[in-house]
Chain A
Amino acid sequence: QVQLVESGGGVVQPGRSLRLSCAASGFTFSYYGMHWVRQAPGKGLEWVAVIWYDGSNEYYVDSVKGRFNISRDNSKNTLYLQMNNVRADDTAVYYCTRWTGDEINWYFDLWGRGTLVTVSS
């Protein structure tokens, strides 16, 4: 079925690195721009990063620029988020989500269940 499944979360020490993955299935992954959105415990949703369908462009929220890198492997139907020099305020559930539209309206229509990243010494 059509789904996104995140993995790679866990406990990581401040200043260390972690790589999240998001496996897509049931649809043509290479057709869609993909995003990471995070949610700190008890808080709201925060957009983190986007990568174009072909990997040609990437954009980030200011708080992760220079530390996080979004990438994708369309041959493996997988989205990644490389998190470097992590900080306590990166602690959150990280969701991958699909950006889609009908040529007029654009929105996040498919979400994974999320993976929890806890930054703690």
Chain B
Amino acid sequence: EIVLTQSPGTLSLSPGERATLSCRASQSVSSSYLAWYQQKPGQAPRLLIYGVSNRATGIPDRFSGSGSGTDFTLTISGLEPEDFAVYYCQQSVGSRWTFGQGTKVEIK
């Protein structure tokens, strides 16, 4: 099973700042199956990025994804108040799906 490790666990930033979230896989992940989700308290997860770098419908361009192999990054170029949430990376291979443990982006 591929383990995804996200860092940092918590990111304390101010609105307008840039957020850089990391997702590291225990073995190489196919880019076709690497996605990022946002979750706010009491809500279901919401797809942000798929295929490493493709924004989902309606996702603003301040969100971007990059990476390959075992190292992936989600960047939020300038935090808006609605961006403070928990972010998860996710991958699938061989009929197994796994999520990272999440990074919480909180207001500093």
Query: Nearest Cβ in chain A — how far from B35, in angstroms?
Result: 4
> Given contacts A44-B100, A44-B102, A47-B98, are A105 and B32 in contact (CB under 8 A)?
yes
Query: Number of residue pairs across A and B with beta carbons under 8 Å?
Result: 65
Q: In the assembled complex, which residues on chain A have CB atoms less than 8 Å from the CB atom of B102?
A: 44-45
Complex Cα distance A47/B97, Å? 6
> What is the number of residues of chain A that contact chain B, defined by CB distance less than 8 Å?
23
Do A109 and B44 touch (CB < 8 A)?
no
Main secondary structure of the interface of B (DSSP, over half): strand
Interface size class of B (residues with CB under 8 A): 20 to 34
1/0 contact string of B92-105 vs chain A (CB within 8 Å)? 10011111111000
Complex Cα distance A110/B100, Å? 19
Do B51 and A47 touch (CB < 8 A)?
no
> Given contacts A45-B88, A105-B32, A105-B51, are A111 and B46 in contact (CB under 8 A)?
yes
Complex Cα distance A112/B88, Å? 17
Tell whether B47 is near chain A: CB-to-CB under 8 Å: yes
Do A111 and B51 touch (CB < 8 A)?
no
Q: In the assembled complex, which residues on chain A have CB atoms less than 8 Å from the CB atom of B86?
A: 44
Do B99 and A114 touch (CB < 8 A)?
no
1/0 contact string of A32-75 vs chain B (CB within 8 Å)? 00010100000011110010000001010100000000000000
Q: In the assembled complex, which residues on chain A have CB atoms less than 8 Å from the CB atom of B3?
A: none
Do A108 and B45 touch (CB < 8 A)?
yes
Complex Cα distance A47/B54, Å? 22
Residues of A within 8 A of B (CB): 35, 37, 44-47, 50, 57, 59, 61, 95, 97, 101, 104-109, 111-114
